[in-house]
Amino acid sequence: MRRGSLVGPFVLILVGVVLLLNNFKPELSLLHLFFNYWPFLLVGWGAVRLIEILVSAARAQPLPRDGITTGEWVLAVLLCLFASGADFARSQLPKARITMHGLQLFGETFDYPLAGSVEAGPAPRVFIENLRGNVRVAGGEGSEVKVEGRATVRAFAKDDADKVNAKCPLEVVREGDQIIVRTNQERAGGDWSVSADLEISVPKGASVTARGRYGDFDIANLDGNVEIASDNAGVRITGVGGDARIQLERSDIIRIVSLKGKVEIKGRGEDIELEDISGRVTVKGAYSGGLSMRRLAGPLVFESRRSELRVAGIPGVLHLDLGDLTAENVQGPLYFKSSSRDVELTAFTGPVEIQLERGDVQLRPAGKDPQIQATVRSGDIVLILPEGADGGVEATTQRGEVVNEFGEELATEDLGQKGARLFGPPGKPVRIRLSTRRGDITVRKTVAAPEQGSPKRLQTTSV
Partner 1 sequence: MRVPLVTAVRGPILMITLGLLFVADRFDAAGFDRTWPVLIIVFGILKLLERLALRRQGLGAGGV
Partner 2 sequence: MTNGEDRPREEAAHAAGADSQTGGAGGAERPAGYCRVCGKPLSESQVRRRHGVIYCEAHVPAPAPLPRSEWDTLPQATAGTSPGLAFVLGLIPGVGAIYNGQYAKGLIHVVIFGLIISILEAGAGGLEPLFGMLLATWVFYMAFEAYHTAKRRQAGLPVDEFSSLIPLKEGAGSVAGPLVLIGLGIFFLLLTLDVIDLYQVVRFWPVLLIVLGVWMLVSRRQPGREERGGAS
Q: Given the rule CB under 8 A, which residues bind partner 1?
A: 36-47, 49-50, 53-54, 56-57, 62-69, 72-73, 76, 80, 83-84, 87
Q: Of 37, 73, 82, 88, which lies in the binding site for partner 2, with binding defined by CB under 8 A?
A: 73
Considering the complex, state which of residue 10 and residue 37 has its C-beta at the smaller distance from partner 1: 37
Contact between 460 and partner 2 (CB under 8 A)? Answer: no
Question: What residue 322 binds from partner 1, partner 2, none (CB within 5 to 8 A, per partner kind)?
Answer: partner 2
Q: How far is CA 412 from the centre of its chain?
A: 44
Question: What residue 246 binds from partner 1, partner 2, none (CB within 5 to 8 A, per partner kind)?
Answer: none
Considering the complex, state which of residue 87 and residue 353 has its C-beta at the smaller distance from partner 1: 87
Cβ-contact 346, 325 below 8 angstroms: no
Closest approach of partner 2 to the CB of residue 74, in Å: 5
CA atoms of 127 and 124, how far apart (whole Å)? 9
Q: Of 357, 390, 405, 440, which lies in the binding site for partner 2, with binding defined by CB under 8 A?
A: 357
Contact between 70 and partner 2 (CB under 8 A)? Answer: yes
Considering the complex, state which of residue 27 and residue 252 has its C-beta at the smaller distance from partner 2: 252
Contact between 415 and partner 2 (CB under 8 A)? Answer: no
Closest approach of partner 2 to the CB of residue 357, in Å: 7
Nearest to 401 by CA among 441, 362, 374, 437: 441
CA atoms of 387 and 318, how far apart (whole Å)? 25
CA atoms of 223 and 239, how far apart (whole Å)? 8
Considering only residues 377 to 406 of the shown chain, the ones binding partner 2 according to CB under 8 A are 378
CA atoms of 364 and 372, how far apart (whole Å)? 11
CA atoms of 65 and 51, how far apart (whole Å)? 15
Contact between 340 and partner 2 (CB under 8 A)? Answer: yes
CA atoms of 181 and 210, how far apart (whole Å)? 9
Considering only residues 294 to 333 of the shown chain, the ones binding partner 2 according to CB under 8 A are 322
SS3 content of the chain, % helix, strand, coil (to 5): 20, 50, 30
Contact between 77 and partner 2 (CB under 8 A)? Answer: yes
Contact between 157 and partner 2 (CB under 8 A)? Answer: no
Question: What residue 408 binds from partner 1, partner 2, none (CB within 5 to 8 A, per partner kind)?
Answer: none
DSSP tag of 76: H
Considering the complex, state which of residue 60 and residue 448 has its C-beta at the smaller distance from partner 1: 60
370: left (phi over 0), alpha (psi -120 to 50) or beta: beta
Q: How far does the chain reach from its first CA to its final CA, in angstroms? A: 96
Considering the complex, state which of residue 75 and residue 311 has its C-beta at the smaller distance from partner 1: 75
Question: What residue 41 binds from partner 2, partner 1, none (CB within 5 to 8 A, per partner kind)?
Answer: partner 1
Question: What residue 125 binds from partner 1, partner 2, none (CB within 5 to 8 A, per partner kind)?
Answer: none
Closest approach of partner 1 to the CB of residue 74, in Å: 12
Contact between 339 and partner 2 (CB under 8 A)? Answer: yes
Question: What residue 340 binds from partner 2, partner 1, none (CB within 5 to 8 A, per partner kind)?
Answer: partner 2
Q: How far is CA 118 from the centre of its chain?
A: 35
Considering the complex, state which of residue 339 and residue 462 has its C-beta at the smaller distance from partner 2: 339
Task: Give the CA distances from residue 12 to residues 28, 30, 49, 69, in Å, rounded to whole numbers and listed in that order.
Answer: 20, 15, 15, 14
Nearest to 373 by CA among 340, 326, 343, 335: 335
Judge residue 460's burial from the number of C-beta atoms within 10 Å of its C-beta, 0-12 exposed, 13-18 middle, 19 or more buried: middle
Question: What residue 17 binds from partner 2, partner 1, none (CB within 5 to 8 A, per partner kind)?
Answer: none
Question: What residue 357 binds from partner 1, partner 2, none (CB within 5 to 8 A, per partner kind)?
Answer: partner 2
Considering the complex, state which of residue 158 and residue 306 has its C-beta at the smaller distance from partner 2: 306
- Cα 387–Cα 389–Cα 392 angle in degrees, nearest 5: 125
Question: What residue 366 binds from partner 1, partner 2, none (CB within 5 to 8 A, per partner kind)?
Answer: none
Q: Which residues of 116-131 are buried (b: 16+ CB within 10 A; e: fewer)?
A: bebebeebbbbbbbbb
Contact between 358 and partner 2 (CB under 8 A)? Answer: yes
Contact between 166 and partner 2 (CB under 8 A)? Answer: no
Q: Of 4, 39, 44, 71, which lies in the binding site for partner 2, with binding defined by CB under 8 A?
A: 71
Question: What residue 87 binds from partner 2, partner 1, none (CB within 5 to 8 A, per partner kind)?
Answer: partner 1
- How many residues lie near partner 2 (CB under 8 A)? 12
Considering the complex, state which of residue 64 and residue 386 has its C-beta at the smaller distance from partner 1: 64
Nearest to 404 by CA among 447, 454, 342, 346: 454
CA atoms of 105 and 33, how far apart (whole Å)? 18
Nearest to 151 by CA among 183, 191, 105: 183
Contact between 92 and partner 2 (CB under 8 A)? Answer: no
CA atoms of 139 and 203, how far apart (whole Å)? 5
Interaction site with partner 2 (CB under 8 A): 70-71, 73-74, 77-78, 322, 339-340, 357-358, 378
